[in-house]
């Protein structure tokens, strides 16, 4: 047996851990909170490195991870919906305004929805989690979700699959919110983004409709004191983060294509100890634009995958 799966309780924080018993690499997730990614420990050479912001107990998870949406699954829409309002097939819908300090809905509902363990492959390090969603205020649609986590050498891969079980077309988008952290200040790191088309945003972080050309991170460039809460239409599938202090490179790879992760959101919190690199199928306010809006047809299933890789 190369892999094992363990249920752990860390001062009230209930975790599911996948561990490579040979390399020592492991990841743990929070099943009751959307299957959120918590800790990711990968190997380079002979040494193990933590590469994702993590909580060590329930108090830290509630006070730090939850407000940041750290490691969470974002569905049935990623990012913001202006004024919490959208119109689909001639019907107006109103979501709760959940974006603290701004008049928007944000990140859907699945980030806090429990997932249950369906299977574990001890030979491949693959864990399958499932959830049924029966709708919520402003989104009265049913969805079946399957998230598959796979621990490989130097890599965590996550594949998300969703099926429309409503008997009619519905609006849908999804994404993930990993926070990359190596313990080095973000100001000392370098970033490379596979795209230069950045959405201009208004004071409420909603796209204005204008696209800005931003080539600062087209090649590796210092993050320094740069603030970021920016969305890009990507031209390639790999974002690179370089930690010159520890000689580490973390690569976020995301599946692109029809109804896949064609957008990337980049956010640095005020703590400046991590950076969110978010693969998304929609840009902010995607339900109110035509930019990549995924309409799930009756009984349609779509899936998209991303990975965190250490080199």
Q: Kindly state whether residue 138 falls inside one of the protein's structural domains.
A: yes
b/e map 83-109, b = 16+ CB within 10 Å: bbbbebeeeebebeeebeebebbbbbb
Indicate the pTM of the whole model. Answer: 0.96
- Please check the confidence at residue 170 and state whether its pLDDT lies above 90: yes
- Res. 262 pLDDT band, cuts 50 70 90: very high
Say if CB 283 and CB 263 are below 8 A apart: yes
Taken as a whole, the chain contains a residue count of 311
Say if CB 293 and CB 307 are below 8 A apart: no
Q: Kindly state whether residue 56 falls inside one of the protein's structural domains.
A: yes
Give tens-digit pLDDT for 27-53.
999 999 999 999 999 999 999 999 999
- Res. 294 pLDDT band, cuts 50 70 90: confident
Rounded to whole angstroms, the Cα distance separating 12 from 10 reads 5
- Res. 23 pLDDT band, cuts 50 70 90: very high
Give tens-digit pLDDT for 137-146.
999 999 999 9
Q: 21: which DSSP letter?
A: T
- pLDDT > 90 fraction of the chain, expressed in percent and rounded: 97
Q: Kindly state whether residue 257 falls inside one of the protein's structural domains.
A: yes
Question: Tokens representing 80?
Answer: 């913001």
Q: What average pLDDT score do residues 90-103 get?
A: 96
Query: What's the pLDDT at 154?
Result: 96
Q: What average pLDDT score do residues 137-161 get?
A: 97
Q: What average pLDDT score do residues 157-179 get?
A: 97
Query: What's the pLDDT at 205?
Result: 96
| Surface-to-core class of residue 221, CB atoms within 10 Å of its CB (0-12 exposed, 13-18 middle, 19+ buried) | middle
- Res. 293 pLDDT band, cuts 50 70 90: low
Q: Kindly state whether residue 310 falls inside one of the protein's structural domains.
A: no
Rounded to whole angstroms, the Cα distance separating 160 from 307 reads 11
Question: Tokens representing 249?
Answer: 């490179």
pLDDT averaged over every residue in the chain:
96
Nearest-10 Cα torsion for 27, 267, 210, 87:
60
The domain that contains 15 carries what CATH number? 2.70.98.10
Query: What's the pLDDT at 1?
Result: 63
Q: What average pLDDT score do residues 267-291 get?
A: 93
Query: What's the pLDDT at 291?
Result: 56
Task: Write out the DSSP string of 58-119.
Answer: HHHIIIIIHHHTTTEEEBS--SEEETTEEEETTEEEE----STTSSEEESBSGGGS--EEEE
- Please check the confidence at residue 226 and state whether its pLDDT lies above 90: yes
Q: Kindly state whether residue 86 falls inside one of the protein's structural domains.
A: yes
Secondary structure of residue 186 in the 3-state scheme:
helix
Q: Kindly state whether residue 311 falls inside one of the protein's structural domains.
A: no
Query: What's the pLDDT at 105?
Result: 97
Q: Kindly state whether residue 180 falls inside one of the protein's structural domains.
A: yes
Cα 92 to chain center, whole Å? 28
Query: What's the pLDDT at 289?
Result: 84
Question: Tokens representing 294?
Answer: 């995924």
Query: What's the pLDDT at 43?
Result: 97
Domain that holds residue 46: 3-305
Query: What's the pLDDT at 290?
Result: 64
Give tens-digit pLDDT for 176-207.
999 999 999 999 999 999 999 999 999 999 99
Rounded to whole angstroms, the Cα distance separating 271 from 74 reads 22
Number of domains composing the chain: 1
Q: Kindly state whether residue 80 falls inside one of the protein's structural domains.
A: yes
- pLDDT > 70 fraction of the chain, expressed in percent and rounded: 98
């Amino acid at each position: 047996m190369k892999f094992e799966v363990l249920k752990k309780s860390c001062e009230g924080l209930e975790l599911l851990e996948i561990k490579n018993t040979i390399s020592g690499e492991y990841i743990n997730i929070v099943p009751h909170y959307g299957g959120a990614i918590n800790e990711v420990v990968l190997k380079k050479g002979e040494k193990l490195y933590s590469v994702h912001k993590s909580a060590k107990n329930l108090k830290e998870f509630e006070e730090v991870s939850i407000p940041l949406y750290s490691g969470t699954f974002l569905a049935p829409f990623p990012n913001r919906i202006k004024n919490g309002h959208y119109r689909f097939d001639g019907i107006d819908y109103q979501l709760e305004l959940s974006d603290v300090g701004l008049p928007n809905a944000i990140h859907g509902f699945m980030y806090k929805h429990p997932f249950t363990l369906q299977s574990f492959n001890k030979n491949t390090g693959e864990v399958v989690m499932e959830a049924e969603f029966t709708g919520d205020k402003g989104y009265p649609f049913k969805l079946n979700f399957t998230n598959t986590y796979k621990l490989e050498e130097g890599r965590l891969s996550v594949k998300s699959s969703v099926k429309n079980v409503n008997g009619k077309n519905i609006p849908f988008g999804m994404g993930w919110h990993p926070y990359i952290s190596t313990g080095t200040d973000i100001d000392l790191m370098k970033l490379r983004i596979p795209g230069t088309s950045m959405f201009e945003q208004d004071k409420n972080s909603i796209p204005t409709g204008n696209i800005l050309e931003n080539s600062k991170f087209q090649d590796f460039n210092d993050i320094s004191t740069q603030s970021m809460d920016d969305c890009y239409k990507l031209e390639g599938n790999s974002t690179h983060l370089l930690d010159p202090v520890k000689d580490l490179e973390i690569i976020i790879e995301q599946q692109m294509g029809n109804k896949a992760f064609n957008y990337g959101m980049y956010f640095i919190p005020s703590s400046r100890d991590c950076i969110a690199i978010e693969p998304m199928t929609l840009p902010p306010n995607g339900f109110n634009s035509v930019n990549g809006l995924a309409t799930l047809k009756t009984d349609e299933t779509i899936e998209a995958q991303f990975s965190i890789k250490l080199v």
